[in-house]
Chains A and B, each alone.
Chain A
Amino acid sequence: MVDALVVFLPLIGSSVAGLCALASNSSNKDQQRKIEIASQLITCGALLVSMALAWFIFFSITKEGLLRVTEISNWISSGSFEVSWSLRVDSLTAIMMVLVTTVSAMVHIYSIGYMKKDPSIPRFMCYLSLFTFFMLVLVSADNLIQLFFGWEGVGLASYLLIGFWYYKPSANAAAIKAFIVNRVGDFGFALGIFSIFVVFDTVHFDTIFQSVPAKNTYMIEIFGGEFHALTVICLLLFVGAMGKSAQLGLHTWLPDAMEGPTPVSALIHAATMVTAGIFMVARLSPIFEFSETALAVVTIVGATTTIFAATVACTQFDLKRIVAYSTCSQLGYMFFACGVSAYSAGIFHLLTHGFFKAVLFLGAGSVIHAMSDEQDIRKMGGIWKLIPITYVLMWIGSLALAGLPPFAGYFSKDIVLESAWAADTSFGYYAFWMGILAAMLTAFYSWRLIFITFHGKSRADEKVVAHIHESPSTMIGPIIVLAVGAIFSGYLFYSNFVGHDAINFWGQSITILDTHQAINKAHLVPSWVKNLPLNVAILGIFIAYLMYIWRPNLPTILAGKFRWLHLFFYNKWYWDELYTLLFVRPAMRLGWNLWKIGDGLLIDGIGPDGISSAVKRIAKRVAAFQTGYLYHYAFTMLAGLVVLISSYIFVRGG
């Protein structure tokens, strides 16, 4: 009952806000204002209650690592394909629920201030709550189809929110891009689900998990060869995870998604939705554990994304895009943690990241708000005295992100890197070194952002500067709440998530084979491994200080010296250009040709139109026989008679 309330309260809020949006009447200002307030009160209220209940569930569930499943109704049944609507709550779900509802509630409140002057507030609140509902369905799914329901649902909400300012062509393009790139991932996800059904004859988690060991020898025929079934399944599902969590190759939508309002970026594109891929891998750990190949792929993809996104983040100038690439990079950390079977470390980082990245995004939103919607950090500078609270909050977020003690990121990032080392495999070491390098870059780009944005001379024009002001309390309040999480969540939850109490805390929600010891051995790694992340982070901050405070002309010199490398990073490794060249333009051209040449020229040309014109031609010729001259007819008759008689004789005679 409580579980259902947590999930459905946001839906109720969303529906009411949706009705408010439809009832909006822009001609009557007073009434409009009342409707707006009503929609804000109801959605925020629903979310706060939902959040409180989620924390209650969290403490009661994780105390003993319980699992409870509430079936709501049956859903689809066709032959042996049986799917139900049900809520599965265990420690993993409870963690996600807490994160989702907390960040969402804070973002709801923050939006009251941030979207104050927007003409369609109820619609915005409606979409935010709708997203929260789908996300909660996703994390509490008890079967793959319901997971997919939430999965596509959050994709829809993300599409709607990225394109929220529908009059901006760039926002529309980004929204469509996000949806379609995610669909490419979902294509893999769906095929994975089908493979699971073929192999296991069910899509319900418990039944699947129980029979995984028995299916370990099972082979599946796909792509013209026989392969280890569980590996194929995991790889296909992982394609889905890559799409949703913006991993290398399917990441191109995430930076563009920054076209949406900033609260959306904080909630969906940093703290919650993009982590769905990691959640999925952790949820399906009982399957992933049985495929070394799949785990290796997860590790490599995660580690490579980590370093890729970090390099790009170092060269960007759009405030939100820097944070977006940073998100992409951090998601890579979570994935390679899962790849070395340290799921709990991955989820731990997911939780702390949810808090500090939300702080960074909402802080960035506060900066943008202060700068009259300016996002280019080259046009900022020297504003820290004008918005001191935001400045402090950005420091907290960055300290947590860079992994400095005692902030949350310190605990979670360290355990992730330690696990990668402790895995003692070549992939593990690759991930470790990439992670260390990225940790340095993370610290570098975080302080690059802080120094360029807040320090130095002001580069904004006077009008903007005159207008700079600290954000209202509806915006600052939620960031402070989240900042509390960004400071303490690492220290407080360390022993539960990855320390002494972990076994009791996680219960049955994560499975790790005895052969995979990374998380257990993580505490025993050499001390230089333990200290390295912190040292490189400090080094990164120091380099940023050198380049942006001490010698501000250094970056230009370096960019000139390493021109091609800088361009390569600055243009995001040219992924977008590559895809446009490979897929977008050919698809459009092919469609046009198939239409004009395939349908028009060939099918219709030879088919109906061809036949009809041929009939016309023949008819014209035949008509030409009817000349009206008697001697023409007589000649024809004679000729016919000759042919007839001679053929008769010929046949008879022959």
Chain B
Amino acid sequence: MSEFPLLSILIFLPLVGAVFILSIQGKVEIVARNSRYVALWTASANFLLSLVLWFNFDKSTPKFQFVEYAMWMPNLGIGYHVGVDGISILFVILTTVLTPICVLASWESINSRVKEYMVCFLVLETFMVGMFCALDLILFYTFFEAVLIPMFIIIGVWGGNRRIYAAFKLFLYTLLGSVLMLLAMITMYVDAGTTNIIKLLDHSFPFAMQTWIWLAFLASFAVKVPMWPVHTWLPDAHVEAPTAGSVILAGVLLKFGGYGFLRFSLPMMPDASLMFTPIIFSLSVIAVVYTSLVALAQEDVKKLIAYSSIAHMGFVTAGVFSMTVQGVEGAIYQMLSHGVVSAALFLIVGVIYDRIHTREINAYGGLVNRMPFYSLIFMIFLLASIGLPGTGGFIGEILVLLGVFKVNIWVAIFLATGVILGAAYMLYLYKRLIFGTLTKKRLLKIIDLSPREIAVFSPLLIVTIWMGIYPNSFLNFMHVSVANLLQKVQTSLAKSSVIYLAGG
């Protein structure tokens, strides 16, 4: 445990930056320029700080590290309590990597209300990092819900034509789940007498209560993942959101659900989790097959990638509830690699949208003739998305499938069909956008990636390949924590004499 309040700084530094941006005054252009730079520097500084986390993390213990505690509402025992373990640390770093990239990606495409836009992103980062670090129920809930506000604003203000509809759809869907989750959290507090997540992890709830709490959490997490059939907000939100909004949405926000399952549902309600596993498996399988087929029929680039995101997240939920080492580690890995790859794919769409201002697939064709760099980068991320070995996508998928195969072969078989369909819709998309002859008039003068855009893509490119060639540098963070998690699940299951057949 370090004395240096690293996590607090990681959480609140962006907020400080946001306040600083708010204080910038003057001409519109100057304010815009300064806001961009402040946001970029703050986000980059936060990323560098998160590297300290990466290097100083002790991978040999499942305990929470860099823990900080301060009283917040003493009479209720609620505290400001943060810390990271092997499951959450990589998500924190994912967030700090993606935020500066988002700022850089919005450099030229956002021209109105730049100041407010940058404030929104920095505030968003505070909430996201806070969410992954929170070790107190109420703190977790606060951050978990607060994220919605900047996201709502980003879509509602800087979005496309149907932005208001999309923003409200996102808001209402998520809110509905959250209300139930809050009730569940209050119930947990009443039963356990604490909001301390570390203590709650060791508390065992009675079975009947577990069931209800589990379902309430599901309502919230399922929307976030999103699982079928509460997924329809996602394509709308993605289509309307500005590029960077989509990046954060796909890159980080979608991981809240999977993270929630790992942090709460599995360890705190193991019996209920086991009982409901068939439901999760069914919904995951439907999500994968259904949304892959839907993706095949899309005519809007962003919608297609949004649907592919849902399919990829179907792997995550299945992996988590396989409750095997490979399944859970694969799910975490899949979330991380999807975070990078889908972020990149949305940026890729953003590149051509910035130039031609349409997302219609039919408006494009033959881009390779004028954009070779773009086509190359698109191809690499496409391959990562369809899980080609050598990219991060492969490791996540193969581990999840392996874990699920051990528990339920049918589920694994259906999930694996998603891999075939995934290749189909992505390659079909690529063909329609990139290949062919360049005949459309609007495209004749389209220009290839600018140095700024290359700077945006390079870190993501490196990480994706690194995740595929040497995944152990990421997996090593998880081993002990995941083993501990599964151990906990096993013991409490053994205690409640539920027959359980799975393992290492």
Give the B-binding residues of A (Cβ under 8 A). 21-22, 73-81, 145, 148-149, 152-153, 156, 159, 163, 166-167, 169, 172, 175-176, 179-180, 183-184, 186-187, 190-191, 194-195, 197-198, 221-223, 587-588, 590-592, 594-595, 598-599, 603-604, 607-608
Contacts and interface: CB of A to CB of B under 8 A. Distances in A.
Interface of B: 169, 172-173, 229-230, 232-233, 235, 290, 293-298, 324-326, 329-330, 366, 368, 372-373, 376, 383, 388-390, 395, 398-399, 401-402, 405-406, 409, 412-413, 416-417, 419-421, 423-424, 427-428, 431, 434-437, 469-472, 475, 479, 504
A608 B388 contact: no
B427 A588 contact: no
B420 A187 contact: yes
A471 B29 CA distance: 64
A224 B54 CA distance: 46
A149 B406 CA distance: 22
B417 A608 contact: no
Contacts of A588: 296-297
B325 A78 contact: yes
A508 B475 CA distance: 35
A163 B423 CA distance: 15
Given A76-B475, A176-B427, A198-B405, A22 B373 contact: yes
A148 B294 CA distance: 28
Contacts of A159: 427
A77 B296 contact: no
10 contacts: A22-B372, A22-B373, A78-B325, A78-B329, A148-B389, A159-B427, A167-B437, A190-B416, A587-B421, A594-B294
A191 B421 CA distance: 16
Given A76-B399, A187-B416, 6 more contacts: A166-B368, A179-B427, A183-B419, A607-B232, A608-B172, A608-B173
A603 B310 CA distance: 15
Contact of A81 (B232, B295, B402, B437): B402
Nearest to A146: B389
A351 B421 CA distance: 35
Given A176-B427, A187-B417, A156 B296 contact: no
Given A73-B470, A588-B296, A79 B417 contact: no
A187 B401 contact: no
Nearest to B425: A591
Does more than half of chain B's interface fall in helix, strand or loop, or is it mixed?
helix
The residue among A21, A180, A191, A608 with the most chain B CB atoms within 10 A of its own CB is: A608
Contacts of B383: 156
Given A145-B398, A190-B401, A153 B390 contact: yes
Contacts of B504: 79-80
Nearest to A149: B389
Does more than half of chain A's interface fall in helix, strand or loop, or is it mixed?
helix
B326 A79 contact: yes
Contact of A166 (B402, B416, B435): B435
A591 B295 contact: yes
A75 B229 contact: no
A587 B290 CA distance: 10
Contact of A590 (B230, B293, B437, B472): B293
Contact of B471 (A75, A186, A223, A590): A75
A169 B366 CA distance: 11
A183 B420 contact: yes
A290 B394 CA distance: 31
Contact of A190 (B295, B395, B398, B469): B398
B473 to A, nearest CB: 11
A79 B482 CA distance: 10
Contacts of B424: 176, 180, 587
Contact of A591 (B297, B325, B376, B471): B297
B402 A608 contact: no
A152 B468 CA distance: 13
B232 A604 contact: yes
Nearest to A608: B169
A598 B186 CA distance: 36
A595 B297 CA distance: 8
Contact of A194 (B169, B325, B389, B405): B405
B388 A156 contact: yes
A169 B416 contact: no
Contacts of A149: 389-390
Given A78-B475, A163-B435, A608-B172, A587 B416 contact: no
A608 B421 CA distance: 28
Contacts of A167: 366, 435-437
Contacts of B399: 76, 78, 81
Given A190-B398, A588-B297, A598-B290, A179 B232 contact: no
Contacts of A190: 398, 401, 416, 419
Contacts of B395: 76
Contacts of A198: 405-406
A198 B399 CA distance: 13
A598 B297 CA distance: 13
Contact of B293 (A21, A152, A191, A594): A594
Contacts of A604: 232
B233 A608 contact: yes
A587 B296 contact: yes
Contacts of A169: 436
A191 B472 contact: no
What 3 A-B pairs come out closest when comparing CB atoms?
A79-B325, A591-B297, A591-B293
A195 B470 CA distance: 24
Nearest to B173: A608
B233 to A, nearest CB: 7
The residue among B326, B435, B471, B504 with the most chain A CB atoms within 10 A of its own CB is: B435
A191 B420 CA distance: 13
Nearest to B478: A78
A75 B470 CA distance: 6
A464 B368 CA distance: 32
Contacts of B436: 166-167, 169, 172
